[in-house]
Every structure is written in structure tokens, then in C-alpha cells.
């Protein structure tokens, strides 16, 4: 398989950064609410040459609350919203595990295997990438992969300037 090349990536946590985090799992596309400024900011970053990669824990799969197909449906729905705005998400990585239900794994944040896989797939160097998250486990995953972490407040939305903070 040929490796895709994107030299600089913006990794994004999903729930609470891209979409509203209600305090429970978001697995239904009808309840997926994109936060203010997200679409414009993502489109701006894409136009600046960044690859966009969603990195998300989805432990509800291991807990039996929803299926992998539900995760795919939400990601497909969000990709469709992005396409309507004239850009795309380059990749979605998710961890379906939960340590209380399926044991420990290397991909679940604060582990950094999802970031490592994306860095390898796209041929990006960690120092040229940023991970935007709303939780300390996101920052730990960023640090573990050698990527700059940017911590944002949950459910506030995005603005283009945060990657330069």
C-alpha cells in the first residue's frame, strides 16, 4: 500500500472539541452537534495545508452501549458535513476498548498508538504536528507521541489561532 504524505497534521479529539460532549457517549448521528467555529476553523486549517485527523476513545463499544458501526455512522455523518463545506477529514482513528471491560490497550488515550499510526501512515514528523484535546489524557497522548498538545476547554468550539498558542 502506498503511503499518503501529509507533512503537517492537526490531530483532534472528537467529543468536546469537535462536537458537543453531553457527559454521555455520542453515538447517534442525529445527536451529533458540531460546536461553534469548528467547521470554519477546520476548513481554514485544511486550506493552510494541514491534514486533519480525528483521534477518539470510544469505550462505549467495549461496554456494549453501541457498536463499531455506530462509530462509523457518526464519522461518516461528520465527513459529509465537512464535504458540504468543501473539505475533508483525512482520517479517523478510534479506540473501541475500555480498561474496565476489555482490558488495557495501547491505543486508548492516554496511550499514543493512534497518533503513532497516523504519523507513520501520513509520513509526518511529530514536531510538525499538533493535538487539540480537552482532557489531560489527550495531552499525555500528545506528549507520548512527541506532538505538541493544545488543551482547550470542553464544548467551547475552535478558532484557528489556538494552534499557535
Q: Give the active site residues.
A: 13, 15
What are the beta bridge partners of residue 93?
55
CA distances from 135 to 65, 88, 140 (A): 22, 25, 9
Distance CA 150, CA 127 (A): 13
Q: Quick one: three-class SS letters along the chain? A: CCCCCCCCEEEECCECCCECCCCCCCCCHHHCCECCCHHHHHHHHHHCCCEEEEEEECCCCCCCCCCHHHHHHHHHHHHHHHHHCCCCCCEEEEECCCHHHHCCCCCCCCCCHHHHHHHHHHCCCHHHCEEEECCHHHHHHHHHHCCEEEECCCCCCCCHHHHHC
Amino acid at each position: 500500500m502506498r503511503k499518503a504524505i501529509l507533512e503537517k497534521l492537526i490531530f483532534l479529539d472528537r467529543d468536546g472539541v469537535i462536537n458537543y460532549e453531553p457527559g454521555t457517549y455520542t453515538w447517534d448521528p442525529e445527536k451529533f452537534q458540531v460546536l461553534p467555529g469548528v467547521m470554519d476553523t477546520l476548513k481554514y486549517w485544511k486550506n493552510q495545508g494541514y491534514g486533519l485527523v480525528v483521534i477518539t476513545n470510544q469505550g462505549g463499544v467495549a461496554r456494549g452501549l453501541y457498536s463499531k458501526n455506530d462509530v462509523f455512522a457518526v464519522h461518516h455523518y461528520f465527513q459529509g458535513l465537512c464535504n458540504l463545506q468543501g473539505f475533508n477529514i483525512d482520517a479517523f482513528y478510534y479506540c473501541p476498548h475500555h480498561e474496565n471491560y476489555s482490558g488495557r490497550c495501547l491505543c486508548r488515550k492516554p496511550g499514543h498508538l493512534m497518533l503513532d499510526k497516523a504519523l507513520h501512515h501520513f509520513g509526518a514528523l511529530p514536531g510538525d504536528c499538533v493535538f487539540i484535546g480537552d482532557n489531560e489524557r489527550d495531552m499525555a497522548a500528545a506528549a507520548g507521541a512527541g506532538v505538541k498538545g493544545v488543551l482547550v476547554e470542553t464544548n467551547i468550539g475552535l478558532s484557528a489561532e489556538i494552534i499557535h498558542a
